Amino acid sequence: MRQRIITGLLAALFFLTMLAAGSGWYTLLITLLAVIAYQEFVRLNGAKAREPASLVGFAGILYLVVPWNMLFGWSVPPQQTVVWLLMFLFFALTVISQNRTSIDKIALLFIGVVYIGVGFHYMIYTRWMPEGLFWTLLLFGCIWLTDVGAYFAGRLLGKKLLWPSISPKKTVEGAVGGILVSIATAVAFAMIRPELLTVREAVAIGLLVSVLGQLGDLIQSAYKRVRNIKDSGTILPGHGGILDRTDSWIIVFPFVHLLGLLPQ
């Protein structure tokens, strides 16, 4: 537990420093995390990082995550076009390799590109928005404090298991506690910057972020159950891999934009 706390505090301090340092530094960090997360995903699915299908996936991650137009002013094809091209390249590999690269493998690697690439893309996109530091801190604050609220509410009040076949320690009471803390966090942000966020909007964001964040955590837990592993990696002592730490982020950030909860 001590190692977990120390690692968590150091990682959080470094992350927040990069976030505050500017969108460029934050973009570099998030891109690195996305590449590591995809490498973990590749390994979880029995593939090797240097095989052709994985390399296509890494190229897709870099395209989707890096804001090429914002950083360099490059005119690049829209994401939906590139997603289709990636699908085509994955299928082409099955033909070129004479099915040594299987349909099952490319399907999983393609899903990983969309899952991780789009999720991390919106983490960066949020920081590049007007008042992006505020909006990014709002979402991360709600995500992280959901975990804190769920942990303590579960420890103090937890009786009814939420989804024991996927995550045997999570409780309904913990989930509700996480939601309430997330809403309170969002309302605090609204009180700090009322010109950017109303209390009503804050309640909606806090509720949605908490529910989606907990769902994202359950999605990753379910996947690890299928693969019969505890953690996606070992890069963070006491915390597992990057996918273990970002499973909520990957789901939350795209959804708040797709639902129009943040200014476009």
Write out pLDDT tens, residues 94-135: 999 988 889 999 999 999 999 999 999 999 999 999 999 999
Full 3-state SS string of 40-108: HHHHHCCCCCCCHHHHHHHHHHHHHHCCHHHHHCCCCCCHHHHHHHHHHHHHHHHHHCCCCCCHHHHHH
Pair 136, 92 in one domain: no
Range of the domain at 215: 132-264
CA 264 to chain centre: 20
pLDDT at 164: 80
Nearest Cα to 243, choosing from 254, 255, 256, 230? 230
Helix (H) or strand (E) holding 145: helix 132-157
Say if CB 254 and CB 65 are below 8 A apart.
Answer: no
Which regions in the chain score pLDDT beneath 50? none
pLDDT at 3: 66
Pair 115, 203 in one domain: no
Pair 100, 139 in one domain: no
Pair 47, 163 in one domain: no
Domain end call among 128, 160, 184: 128
Pair 140, 108 in one domain: no
Domain end call among 91, 113, 128: 128
pLDDT at 26: 94
Q: How many domains does the chain have?
A: 2
pTM: 0.92
Pair 120, 136 in one domain: no
